[in-house]
């Protein structure tokens, strides 16, 4: 597939097959095309050349309701539509009941701070004093509640501390077991936990293999090292 935004080629002749039920991490430097790649799955972007298939069927043939049941997203900076936090979590799934919403919030470790609010799940999103990490957990809860076949997590744990992130990722791996997961990440531990890693470089796939295999390349290791820090060397 090839995707152009204006006069810029963002993805150039990318071909990728996701294993159903597996976890795939997507890594790369800023501007390498990660968000556009995962956005293709849910129709957020359309390829200028090529086609996106789910079970051999082009996603352009899926109506909006079917597409929502197929692909769910959690973003780094999620919006919270709806009049209450409960509606925000259940957004995109009209049949979500109170138990579904509470279970999704627990999986994303969001129930603790929601219960501390005076109106709990009835709190208007605009009236909730939420930190960046709390907002991300609500976005993750919405993705869980959607109960889609494919869940895309686009840097949606970037504002969490390491301990909370590990706790959330473990919970999501449990509740989404058997579902296809695609995780855009800048953290080596997250990439290592995935079945395979897609390494994007300037809009092309430079590597597609387990993290341990790619780690032998110092340029791959440098993706996870803060600017100015020494690149770790492994034997």
Check pLDDT > 70 for residue 49: yes
In the chain the domains, ranked by start, together with CATH numbers, are: 3-79+150-224 (3.40.50.300)
* 131-171 pLDDT tens trace: 999 999 999 999 999 989 999 999 888 888 888 888 888 88
Are 16 and 205 in contact by the 8 Å Cβ rule? The answer is yes
| Furthest C-alpha separation in the chain | 54
pLDDT computed for residue 231 by the predictor: 39
Q: How far, in Å, CA of 12 to CA of 205, rounded?
A: 9
Are 145 and 101 in contact by the 8 Å Cβ rule? The answer is yes
pLDDT computed for residue 126 by the predictor: 87
pLDDT computed for residue 225 by the predictor: 55
Are 76 and 156 in contact by the 8 Å Cβ rule? The answer is yes
Are 27 and 201 in contact by the 8 Å Cβ rule? The answer is no
Instruction: Dihedral sign for Cα 157, 158, 161, 166, please.
Output: positive
pLDDT computed for residue 232 by the predictor: 43
Confidence of residue 172 (pLDDT cuts 50, 70, 90): confident
pLDDT computed for residue 115 by the predictor: 94
* 63-103 pLDDT tens trace: 988 888 899 999 988 999 999 999 999 998 888 999 999 99
Q: How far, in Å, CA of 197 to CA of 201, rounded?
A: 13
pLDDT computed for residue 226 by the predictor: 59
- The predicted model gives 191-210 an average pLDDT of 96
Q: Is 131 exposed, middle or buried (0-12, 13-18, 19+ CB in 10 A)?
A: exposed
pLDDT computed for residue 163 by the predictor: 84
- The predicted model gives 229-235 an average pLDDT of 41
pLDDT computed for residue 116 by the predictor: 93
pTM: 0.88
């Amino acid at each position: 597939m090839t995707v152009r935004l204006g006069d810029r080629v963002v993805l150039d002749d990318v071909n990728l097959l996701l294993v159903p039920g597996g976890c795939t991490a997507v890594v790369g430097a800023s501007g390498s095309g990660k968000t556009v790649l995962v956005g293709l799955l849910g129709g957020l972007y359309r390829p200028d050349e090529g086609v996106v298939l789910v079970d051999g069927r082009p996603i352009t043939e899926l109506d909006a309701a079917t597409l929502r049941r197929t692909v769910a997203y959690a973003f780094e900076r999620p919006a919270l539509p709806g009049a209450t936090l409960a509606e925000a979590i259940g957004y995109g799934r009209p049949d979500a009941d109170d138990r579904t919403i509470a279970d999704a919030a627990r999986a994303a470790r969001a129930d603790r701070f929601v219960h501390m609010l005076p109106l709990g799940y009835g709190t208007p999103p605009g009236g909730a004093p939420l930190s960046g990490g709390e907002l991300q957990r609500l976005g993750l809860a919405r993705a869980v509640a959607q109960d889609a076949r494919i869940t895309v997590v686009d840097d949606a744990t970037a504002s969490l501390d390491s301990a909370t992130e590990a706790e959330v990722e473990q919970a999501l791996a449990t509740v989404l077991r058997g579902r296809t997961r695609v995780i855009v990440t800048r953290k080596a531990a997250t990439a290592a936990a995935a079945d395979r890693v897609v390494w994007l470089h300037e809009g092309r796939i430079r590597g597609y293999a387990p993290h341990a295999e790619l780690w032998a390349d110092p340029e791959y290791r440098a993706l996870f090292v803060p600017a100015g820090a020494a690149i770790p060397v492994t034997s």
